[in-house]
Amino acid sequence: MAKIAILATDGFEEAELIYPFYRLKEAGHESVLISLGKRPIEGKFGYLMKPSFKIVDVNADDYDGVIIPGGTKNPDYLRRNQVILEFVHKINEQKKLVGAICHAGWVLISAKVIKGRKATSYYAIKDDMINAGADFHDKSVIVDENLITSRMPDDLPDFMRAVLRFLQE
């Protein structure tokens, strides 16, 4: 059983948080919602989720991976937090699962884990990804070793199949 951190704050894309959160649990893994604080966070359509931990109270060594949902505001707020960036960078250095959907590519860019890697994202940040050194592909899911990226909510089935396959290996 893997323990996966899901990093989110206000403005998260509901489908991109809720689908992986419960799909991981369904597959027997532990999914832990981590945010910038402990107060409930609000999705872009108003859905509230209560984080289990603040990012300052967790250690990347205690997790087997991380998933970052999109939404335009969520990744933009997350990438401004140095502790979030260090968490993602450390998970990547340890070759653990790093999953990012939609605009979450911004967090990968700021955490300096995207350069030279195959990846995808929402089309609106394609240029950002390319300019940061990503080998960009417009596909529903791209797997590059421990890095798994997807474009949008419609890609979630492909994304989660790849995530669960990675966790089985």
Measured distance CA(21)–CA(6) in Å, rounded: 7
Q: How far is CA 109 from CA 22, 73, 92, 129, 139, in A?
A: 27, 15, 12, 7, 19
Number of H helices, E strands in the chain: 6, 11
Name the residue among 83, 80, 19, 84 with its Cα closest to residue 47.
19
Q: Which of 29, 89, 103, 137 is catalytic?
A: 103
CB 56 within 8 A of CB 83: yes
Altogether, the residues listed in the chain come to a count of: 169
Measured distance CA(19)–CA(40) in Å, rounded: 18
The two structure tokens encoding residue 65: 């991976």
Q: Is 89 a catalytic residue?
A: no
**What sign does the CA torsion over 130, 151, 88, 12 have?**
positive
Q: How far apart are the first and last CA of the chain?
A: 12
Give catalytic residues, as residue numbers: 103
